[in-house]
Structure 1
């Protein structure tokens, strides 16, 4: 948060700390720096590296600006809804990794290249990260953390859990989260605030553009193929079980190096590509994963859970509040999936210990597991890798976390635990 050195340098601290203190097996720490999500980010970065040299980034930017308009409130609402809806059926990391570069291209076109010093760029990138996290709660397909929860529910009930029940049960929660998050994000945006140019200007710019070149079409096609295959994973996972979204993006990135333009020149050359890849993004994301591994594998997360279990909870509103705080804070410092794996059994143990039905409180924990706003861990490392300042994320995240904890405590109590 204080940024004494570059974020990429900070990202290697888990390795250094563990080397000195030997808290966990070092292999479990270093594995985070070559995880599937890291390869996904690398593949997406390579594919988008060709956008600038082909002019595709400008075309995409003008298209989106012409479609949405330049009003900042409309921009925030659009990026939030797009990211949240996609993340309801797709892994949050995939959504954030594919949507963010598109938004960055638009921001670069209007001159907002320095995200750290740009209020507009910071707000839009933060919007995408927050929405990708919130949207994951809408369906069991929104992330592995939801599947962990379902596994525990099935163990307790002894019967198969129907996915439609999840959607119906959490629908009121999703409405509250969508409204509260959007209102928070646009609270300080003036009605007339825009991205620096009129809608007519972007419409004229679009008319001036030539037809898409072969190079642009190839750059766009490879990215779209990778994105569609990542989104349609369920359709072919039985045929190609190893072709997960991370490897789809990496495979398409490799193919891109074989493509030549109409003059016979390579579309991508490693010497130029490596200068366009945002290595800081990759290292910051990996560092967040590694920090989460330290917290979980060292037993710190379980120790926190044990402390919660000793609070003498007896059900009701106070218990809902404690569970909400516990899960939301833990998911902020580790990953959502790791939090689900640690928190749900603890919640079950506490509630069964006081003779109550654990299912309503599992649903409460599920809401907290899916929400995290403050720290650049998990998908929130992606906007930081593009230049968003962690202290800005923390400042906004603390405010929104406080609002969400109160709102979700009250709503979950009346919907689930009363």
Structure 2
């Protein structure tokens, strides 16, 4: 009975929401928003695999013809899906060569076995690296390393492991919040820069961005870190000691040819993604997604120390994380539905009609709207939609839009709940979706409150925050 109720919760909620929203919204917009509710409920109650839920946008669009179907289908093998596939192909060789064990033991030697140390290091590294690299790349780099380490310490089933939850959440959430630390950390930031330059009439420099957002990022990082450290965990430390793992690492001996190839290509893909500005003029189409795929494809041709291919298609076909790619794509597809049906435009008009007071109410609205948009689409889509709405509202109230735009872009990079966009990657590696939704809901509310209060205070007491 419980399973049947969970299964029916999605379609029933979809129908009820569509009925209740029609009138306030156009029918197509109401159906698109109802689709988001259906997916959220199935991700929470899991009557079917979370990867099955990922295909609901296709089913809903085929039934109701909300937008051109190719706009939905194309999201399931988008550029980011290519990046995830390429990264997966490289990392599959870690298991076949034993590199995963070597990296796991090395990580345990360096970080230590304390859970607090593990959470801190993974969260710090994910946040810091995502300041410079795309969030998806960072999550794709760290998740397989962390999962390999957890497997090595005895956590064989990541989906049921309570120990894995804070570590994988630290990677997923850190990869997200670090994005607004620099203009290149997220494509959403470039949307904000474009609007800021139009408003001010001059170039918005890298330094200008950092001095405004770094204090906000540090405070959000600290609050998020405290939240992660206080999550329930069954153990205080992972099995073993640093000395034990050091002796084990020595027992592995020198790296074999297959291990070296797997490690070198992974590092090369990461570095080429980071150094793309150096060769973008000569290879304009060679974006990080295609760098990872190109180097991943090489695994089918390169040979290990025994003369065997590093990767065979039979192994790749049965071990590649196709579900993770579909899960990530579902967020992009859902975003297409809610944007192209006009649901978000209608929602923004409702917000504009609230006649909010200047200061804290407008800042709170801007941050909440941006965060909500990031949860059901991507931070880029969120920025593209939220910033014009905020500019329109501030213009109608004769307010300086700049501090509200800065608050909006910070909130757009702080989404924690649904397995959409970067947050789908840890779940693809086994993190419980319901755990992420449960803990993410609390942290999302806390973070939005913090951003709202910080940006309102900076607007009032830090002139730099309101001037460019």
Give the TM interval when normalised to the shorter protein: over 0.9
- Asked if residue 21 in structure 1 is aligned to residue 64 in structure 2, the reply is yes
Matches within 5 A, 1:18-417: 18-188=61-231, 193-416=236-459
CA–CA separation in structure 2 for the residues paired with 1:280 and 1:111: 24
Q: CA offset at residue 24 of structure 1? A: 1.0
Cα-to-partner distance string for 1:77-113 (whole Å, 9 max, x where unaligned): 0001111111001111111111111111111111213
CA–CA separation in structure 2 for the residues paired with 1:302 and 1:113: 46
- Using structure 2 for the length normalisation, give the TM-score: 0.87
Q: CA offset at residue 200 of structure 1? A: 2.1
- Asked if residue 4 in structure 1 is aligned to residue 43 in structure 2, the reply is no
Cα-to-partner distance string for 1:269-299 (whole Å, 9 max, x where unaligned): 1101222211111111111211111111111
Q: Is contact 1:320-1:409 (8 Å) kept? A: yes
Q: CA offset at residue 391 of structure 1? A: 1.2
Q: CA offset at residue 247 of structure 1? A: 0.3
Bigger drift between 9-18 and 196-205 goes to: 196-205
Bigger drift between 195-204 and 146-155 goes to: 195-204
Q: Is contact 1:340-1:369 (8 Å) kept? A: yes
CA–CA separation in structure 2 for the residues paired with 1:263 and 1:204: 26
CA–CA separation in structure 2 for the residues paired with 1:262 and 1:382: 32
CA–CA separation in structure 1 for the residues paired with 2:284 and 2:323: 30
CA–CA separation in structure 1 for the residues paired with 2:269 and 2:407: 35
Distance change >3 Å, CA 196–CA 32, structure 1 → 2? same
Q: Is contact 1:72-1:189 (8 Å) kept? A: no
CA–CA separation in structure 1 for the residues paired with 2:234 and 2:165: 18
Bigger drift between 74-83 and 308-317 goes to: 308-317
Number of residue pairs the alignment of both structures matches: 418
Q: Is contact 2:109-2:246 (8 Å) kept? A: yes
CA–CA separation in structure 2 for the residues paired with 1:341 and 1:250: 28
Q: CA offset at residue 332 of structure 1? A: 0.9
Distance change >3 Å, CA 395–CA 356, structure 1 → 2? same
Moved over 3 A (4+): 188-192
Cα-to-partner distance string for 1:357-408 (whole Å, 9 max, x where unaligned): 1111111111111110111111001111112122111110111012112211
Bigger drift between 203-212 and 78-87 goes to: 203-212
CA–CA separation in structure 2 for the residues paired with 1:189 and 1:16: 38
The equivalent of 2:25 in structure 1 is none
Long gaps (5+) in structure 1: none
The equivalent of 2:18 in structure 1 is none
Cα-to-partner distance string for 1:50-86 (whole Å, 9 max, x where unaligned): 1111110000000000000000000000001111111
Q: Is contact 1:73-1:189 (8 Å) kept? A: no
Long gaps (5+) in structure 2: 1-43, 462-468
Q: CA offset at residue 229 of structure 1? A: 0.7
CA–CA separation in structure 1 for the residues paired with 2:440 and 2:301: 43
CA–CA separation in structure 1 for the residues paired with 2:240 and 2:232: 16
Q: Is contact 1:43-1:250 (8 Å) kept? A: yes
Q: CA offset at residue 207 of structure 1? A: 2.0
CA–CA separation in structure 1 for the residues paired with 2:95 and 2:260: 13
Q: Is contact 1:363-1:416 (8 Å) kept? A: no
What is the Cα-based RMSD across aligned positions, in Å?
1.4
CA–CA separation in structure 1 for the residues paired with 2:324 and 2:242: 32
Q: Is contact 1:376-1:384 (8 Å) kept? A: yes
CA–CA separation in structure 2 for the residues paired with 1:406 and 1:415: 14
